[in-house]
């Protein structure tokens, strides 16, 4: 056995993140690690990578007992980690990012030419082509992730930990990554993959270990299981199938007319985009990241000014209005980046959960503390948010648990219009079920929803109509009832869905 983690326990005060966990990895194996948000997956891998120290337990590498006091120590022992949020310098080239910390020298200077040659040889060796001289800022997310993988390979990693590796990738990029993993595994590299996407687990992994509440609930060969069984192990119950009723469209709630935002190099990032969302409708927006979806959201919410066009909400002109004015006109917003736009990391669960609700929970000018705490307690119960208390800072929550808090807060605003951008990014299958049910419930109560998601299965499952964006324009509109993943993927790539 290449790696064995025996009886690993990790406690933080009264909280037990891992309890007597046994985990193993074989040479050339892809081993998936799955579980609900807060189940202890990332903590276990942070221990393996030297970012945390176990409270008790041992690690054996090639039969020898080891202790990793920091990530540098783990890297020296052949263990690399690609984090969910990439650790790259956008202004540096591919080669500079890959060799950083181990730069080839000519005298006392960094030998950039040699670095580029070394990276080119590395790319050729592992059949991962990429231009060493390109700036990382100019790369799509799929290629940025390739840079991260090449970086750990350059460091000599035989064991590669991938944390939610397809979370920000398009379907085509995700499929390409799975092919890369299989290729590297056939060359002797071993992978540990933290993921919530069970269809990818079934496609790429040799074995899968399920964690729930910090404990191992089972380790099985993927050839002897299925996604439904893994879901039951993850959440401890049978998942109900989300059912969508027939839509009952009402009046137009949001109207976007011919909006344009000019880019830095003269090419518009939004080019005369028009759309409308009716009461009782979920309008899905699909597209590869960077094709104008973010700018569209920011223009509607007042975070970015537009150069031309008009935006109306509930019949009121909101073009150029302040964020607060727009929200008070009837908008709530689940942002695509939970850390940048959705939360104050130093704030508590209570403070983050009550943002936007503080104006409606007042009496005689004073906040109703008990009422707000009861509301947030309801969020925690309904969405099964794992937190020590309402006073815990949200920076200590897992990404998925913070996402659930933001979703609960925004849906509870009960505004007529909701923007849901990547609403289930990083959440487990149980939470995904709850979020999808809540979005459909809002739609059935005549709420209007603009759904922006990189998950085509989510777009197809929830939407009534689908718009695909490409290079700042609407490339096509499809009825969700008749749309296919292939049609949407073709439009996302700039093709014609009718070809």
Give the whole-angstrom CA distance, residue 416 versus residue 326. Answer: 12
pLDDT at 240: 60
The residue out of 235, 269, 284 marking a domain boundary is: 235
In a domain, 270, yes or no: yes
In a domain, 420, yes or no: yes
Which string of DSSP letters, residue by residue, matches 255-313?
A: EEEEEEEE-TTSSEEEEEEEEEEETT-EEEEE--TTSSHHHHHHHHHTSS--SEEEEEE
21: nearest Cα among 45, 37, 38, 1: 45
Residues 198 and 125 in one domain: yes
In a domain, 150, yes or no: yes
From the number of C-beta atoms within 10 Å of its C-beta (0-12, 13-18, 19+), residue 267 rates as exposed
CATH number at residue 276: 3.40.50.300
Residues 27 and 130 in one domain: yes
Residues 199 and 297 in one domain: no
pTM over 0.85: no
Instruction: Count up the domains in the chain and report the number.
Output: 2
In a domain, 474, yes or no: yes
Residues 299 and 382 in one domain: yes
Residues 330 and 223 in one domain: no
Give how far the C-alpha of residue 321 lies from the chain's centroid of Cα atoms, to the nearest Å: 30
Residues 230 and 258 in one domain: no
Residues 350 and 480 in one domain: yes
pLDDT at 238: 63
How many CB atoms are located within 10 Å of the residue 11 CB? 14
The residue out of 235, 269, 294 marking a domain boundary is: 235
Residues 397 and 455 in one domain: yes
The residue out of 175, 209, 235 marking a domain boundary is: 235
Residues 321 and 185 in one domain: no
Residues 231 and 259 in one domain: no
Residue 337, C-beta contacts closer than 8 angstroms, at least 6 positions apart:
none
In a domain, 415, yes or no: yes
Domain that holds residue 356: 252-492
How many CB atoms are located within 10 Å of the residue 375 CB? 19
Q: What is the pLDDT along the chain (499 residues), one digit of tens a residue?
A: 999 999 999 998 888 899 999 999 999 999 999 987 778 898 999 999 999 999 999 999 999 999 999 999 999 999 999 887 788 999 999 999 999 988 898 888 999 999 999 999 999 998 888 999 999 988 877 788 889 999 999 999 999 999 888 876 767 778 888 999 999 999 999 999 998 888 889 999 999 999 988 999 999 999 999 988 888 888 776 656 667 788 899 999 999 999 999 987 778 999 999 999 999 999 999 987 778 998 999 999 999 999 999 999 999 999 999 999 999 999 999 998 888 889 999 999 999 999 988 777 777 777 778 889 999 999 999 888 988 899 999 988 888 889 999 999 999 999 999 999 999 887 877 788 889 999 999 999 999 999 999 888 889 999 999 999 999 999 999 998 888 888 888 888 776 655 4
pLDDT at 194: 92
Residues 274 and 335 in one domain: yes
Residues 41 and 120 in one domain: yes
In a domain, 246, yes or no: no
In a domain, 202, yes or no: yes
Query: Taking each helix axis from N to C terminus, what angle separates 369-383 and 429-444, rounded to the nearest 10 degrees?
Result: 120
In a domain, 283, yes or no: yes
């Amino acid at each position: 056995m290449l790696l064995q983690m025996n009886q690993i326990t990790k406690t933080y005060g009264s909280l037990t993140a891992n309890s007597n966990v046994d985990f193993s990895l074989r040479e050339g194996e892809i081993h998936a690690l799955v579980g609900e948000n807060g189940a202890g997956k990332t903590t276990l891998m942070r221990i393996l990578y030297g970012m945390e120290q176990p409270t008790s337990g041992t690690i054996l590498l090639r039969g020898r007992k080891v202790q990793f006091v920091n990530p540098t120590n783990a890297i020296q022992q052949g263990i690399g980690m690609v984090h969910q949020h990439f650790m790259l310098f956008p202004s540096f080239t591919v080669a500079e990012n890959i060799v950083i910390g181990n730069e080839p020298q000519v005298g006392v200077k960094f030998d950039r030419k040699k670095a580029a040659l070394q990276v080119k040889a590395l790319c050729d060796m592992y059949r991962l082509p990429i231009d060493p001289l390109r700036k990382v800022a100019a790369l799509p997310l799929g290629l940025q992730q390739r840079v991260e993988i090449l970086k750990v390979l350059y460091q000599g990693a035989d064991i590669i930990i991938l944390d939610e590796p397809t979370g920000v990738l398009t379907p085509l990029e995700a499929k390409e990554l799975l092919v890369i993993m299989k290729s590297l595994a056939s060359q002797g590299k071993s992978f540990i993959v933290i993921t919530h996407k069970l269809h990818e687990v079934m496609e790429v992994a040799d074995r899968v270990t399920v964690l729930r509440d910090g404990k191992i609930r089972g380790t099985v060969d993927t050839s002897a299981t299925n996604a439904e069984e893994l879901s039951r192990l993850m959440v401890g119950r049978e998942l109900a199938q989300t059912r969508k009723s027939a839509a009952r469209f009402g009046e137009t709630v949001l109207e976007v007319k011919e909006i344009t935002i000019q880019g830095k190099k003269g090419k518009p990032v939004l080019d005369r985009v028009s759309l409308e969302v009716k009461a009782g409708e979920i309008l899905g927006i699909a597209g590869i990241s960077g094709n104008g979806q973010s700018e569209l959201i920011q223009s509607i919410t007042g975070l970015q000014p537009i150069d031309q066009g008009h935006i109306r909400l509930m019949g009121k002109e909101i073009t150029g209005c302040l964020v607060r004015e727009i929200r008070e006109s009837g908008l709530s917003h689940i942002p695509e980046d939970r850390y940048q736009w959705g939360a104050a990391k130093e704030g508590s669960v209570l403070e983050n959960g009550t943002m936007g609700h503080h104006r409606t929970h007042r009496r005689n000018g004073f906040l109703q503390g008990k009422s707000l705490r009861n509301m947030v307690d309801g969020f925690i119960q309904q969405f099964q948010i794992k937190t020590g208390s309402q006073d815990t800072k949200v920076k200590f929550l897992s990404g998925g648990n913070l996402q659930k808090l933001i979703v609960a807060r925004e849906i509870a605003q009960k505004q007529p219009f909701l923007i849901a951008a990547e609403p289930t990014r990083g959440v487990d299958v149980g939470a995904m079920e709850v979020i999808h049910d809540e979005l459909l419930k809002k739609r059935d109560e005549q709420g209007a929803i603009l759904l922006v998601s990189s998950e085509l299965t989510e777009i197809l499952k929830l939407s009534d109509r689908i718009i695909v964006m490409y290079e700042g324009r609407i490339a096509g509109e499809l009825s969700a009832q008749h749309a296919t993943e292939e049609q949407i993927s073709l439009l996302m790539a700039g093709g014609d869905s009718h070809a």
